[in-house]
Amino acid sequence: MIEIKYIAVVDDHVMVRKGLCSLINLFPSYEVVFDADNGNDMIEKLKSFPLPDIVLLDINMPKMDGYDSAQWLKVNYPQIQVLAVSTLDTEAAIIKMIRHGAKGYILKESDPKELKEAFDNVLCSGYHYNDAITQKLINSINGCISQDTFYESPTKVTTRELEFLSLACTEKTYQEIAKEMMVSERTVDGYRDSLFKKAGVTTRVGLVIYAIREHLIYV
């Protein structure tokens, strides 16, 4: 017997939300348990419906947006996985959702097959971020390989690199980070490239996941 996993869809655009619900209900072993048009509506419906395994969460919504909704779920229902779905593809948006508890991030323009894969990955592996981070990092996060097989020990992160890393996990630009650290942008680039090498990643989003994974920052 196939085990059914429950999905909640939270999006303020009715046509998008209903379209996602119809699509998800076509996926084998997945069923939409409820849909909501913002975070406040989601909170109310969580009181009346079975708890979902995954909340598919839009970012830009009135009353209570995706960031606040993800944070609320992380505090009140940590067992529920959050998968962000959005038209936003900026590093800042992805990083902010990660910091607020999202375990995956896909674009609304994605192929339906990717949405199904995202559900599978979040439930089976814990994360889904496409090409935003390397497969090596995903494997490390999920304990599939020994962490010392591909990056240096976090103890080798210098004090200034750690300061940069903390700022890189915010929405600040590299230029703003350089100004706050009172160094040149070239120096900041050096911190970034050094940490890319130590973490075995190639993107800023990858650094954020690395920092969370190694408890170098707390979210």
Among the four given CATH numbers 3.40.50.2300, 1.20.810.10, 3.40.50.1820, 3.40.1350.10, the one describing domain 5-132: 3.40.50.2300
For residue 219, the model assigns a pLDDT of: 56
Domain locations in the chain as residue ranges: 5-132, 147-213
Q: Which residues of the chain have pLDDT under 50?
A: 132-153
pTM reported for the whole predicted model: 0.69
pLDDT at site 131: 56
pLDDT at 1: 65
The packing angle between helices 66-76 and 39-46, to 10°, is: 30
Q: Quick one: pLDDT at residue 101? A: 85
CA distances from 176 to 42, 172, 187, 188, 211 (A): 35, 6, 13, 10, 20
Which architecture characterizes domain 147-213 according to CATH? Orthogonal Bundle (1.10)
Contact at 8 Å (CB) between 65 and 39?
A: yes
Distance CA 99, CA 67 (A): 9
pLDDT in tens, 139-189: 444 443 333 433 444 558 888 998 998 888 887 889 999 999 999 999 999
